[in-house]
Amino acid sequence: MLTLLNLLKDGRFHSGQDLGAALGISRSAVWKQLQHLEAELGLSIHKVRGRGYQLATPLMLLDPLKIAEMAPGWPVAVFDSIDSTNAEGLRAIGQGRSAPFLVLAERQVSGRGRRGRKWVSPFADNLYYSLVLRIDGGMRQLEGLSLVVGLAVMHTLRKVGVAGAGLKWPNDVLVGNKKIAGILLELVGDPADVCHVVLGIGINVNMQAAEEVDQQWTSVRLESGQVCDRNALAVQLSEQLQAYIQRHQDRGFSALQAEWQDGHLWQGRSVSLIAGTNQIDGVVLGIDNQGALRLQVDGVEKLFSGGELSLRLRDDS
């Protein structure tokens, strides 16, 4: 099936006879595979009598050799379809694979965001990216790490034409009030000694429609008006991650605190912080030198941190 997809990915018309000859199968078998492509991957294929078959939109598939050649020396694995890149990263750690390494996928069937939310992952539209790192030296190496990843994602998006990309504490990248990227960090091992962390990043790249998404969203293509090369984006993201992670390791999160606050879109805004069934209303003052949220609540500054917190704008903000 993927061999057929590679023949069609240029977006041109291909006759059933030519496709069958290239694959060594009958025209009726080609037709069955095309139906399977549409049903399994959600692709739209035009069928025109006398001309053949054409993908409604050309595909630029991820190329692990190109990414590995240009990325910062990290081994790269690209999957056609997978439950989630983070899950595969965790499995690889359990099997003893040496970090760092990258896991990417054309599609996720069980993509995950924070707090167990589903991350919609259509085939070959977006970037589903997990970087697996070994962390030595204890908790200091983890302080503010998710915010550091956010900085790398924000600057990656700005470099590919999304000038309005900014940060939302703790793990989202927005354009205005629309989400364009999300970050999910998962940790295994002993955080006080040696552990591994999976930096999961999902970026809406060329997606133009998604009925399943239950919040405002946008994509690189919608913001820039152009189709984005996901291979180039993966390389750019890898370079930004390498640079920011190195700065974090050398100098700690406090050295990046001011830069993160400069990119925070909700600085000074009235917000509601959701923690389980509890809601805390306040005004965003910024973050501390470990990445915790500084919130003014009833005239008093309070600090909040943790993976199960969610920040929302107040209606009167």
| CATH number, domain with residue 12 | 1.10.10.10
Cα–Cα distances (Å) from 233 to 9, 138, 202, in that order, read 19, 31, 12
**33 marked among binding-site residues:** no
Confidence at residue 1, expressed as pLDDT on a 0 to 100 scale: 63
pTM for the model: 0.89
92/152 same-domain check: yes
> In the chain, what's the furthest Cα-to-Cα distance?
74
From 107, 168, 179, 221, the catalytic residue = 179
Q: Which domain holds residue 187?
A: 64-261
Each residue's pLDDT tens digit, 253-304:
999 999 999 999 999 999 999 988 889 999 999 999 999 999 999 999 999 9
**272 marked among binding-site residues:** no
33/134 same-domain check: no
From 114, 168, 221, 230, the catalytic residue = 114
Give the domain-ending residue among 14, 36, 55. 55
**115 marked among binding-site residues:** no
217 or 211, which is more confident? 217
Confidence at residue 221, expressed as pLDDT on a 0 to 100 scale: 95
Residue 120 has pLDDT above 90, yes or no: no
Give the domain-ending residue among 16, 34, 55. 55
What CATH number is attached to the domain comprising 69? 3.30.930.10
Each residue's pLDDT tens digit, 2-53:
788 888 888 888 988 888 898 889 888 888 888 888 887 778 888 888 898 8
**Segments in the chain forming alpha helices (H):** 2-8, 16-23, 27-41, 64-70, 85-94, 145-159, 220-224, 230-251, 257-263
192/148 same-domain check: yes
12/150 same-domain check: no
51/70 same-domain check: no
213/283 same-domain check: no
**158 marked among binding-site residues:** no
Each residue's pLDDT tens digit, 61-111:
999 998 988 878 899 999 988 999 999 999 999 999 999 999 999 999 876
73/168 same-domain check: yes
12/155 same-domain check: no
85/111 same-domain check: yes
**108 marked among binding-site residues:** yes
**112 marked among binding-site residues:** yes
45/171 same-domain check: no
Q: How large is the average pLDDT for residues 114-141?
A: 80
Q: Is 269 marked active-site?
A: no
Lowest mean pLDDT among 118-122, 129-133, 137-141, 167-171: 118-122
What CATH number is attached to the domain comprising 272? 2.30.30.100
Confidence at residue 213, expressed as pLDDT on a 0 to 100 scale: 66
Residue 114 has pLDDT above 70, yes or no: no
- Domains held by the chain: number: 3
User: To the nearest whole number, what is the mean pLDDT of the chain?
Assistant: 89
From 32, 91, 312, 314, the catalytic residue = 312
Q: How large is the average pLDDT for residues 148-159?
A: 98
Give the domain-ending residue among 12, 30, 55. 55
b/e 30-58 (16+ beta carbons within 10 angstroms → b)? beebbeebeeebebeeeeeeeebbbbeee
Q: Is 179 marked active-site?
A: yes
83/143 same-domain check: yes
* Highest mean pLDDT of the ranges 13-22, 162-171, 191-200: 162-171
* pLDDT band (50, 70, 90) for residue 58: confident
Query: How far apart are alpha carbons 210 and 179 in whole angstroms?
Result: 13
Q: Is 114 marked active-site?
A: yes
**247 marked among binding-site residues:** no
Contact (Cβ atoms closer than 8 angstroms) between residue 217 and residue 210: yes
Query: How far apart are alpha carbons 129 and 84 in whole angstroms?
Result: 9
Residue 126 has pLDDT above 60, yes or no: yes
71/199 same-domain check: yes
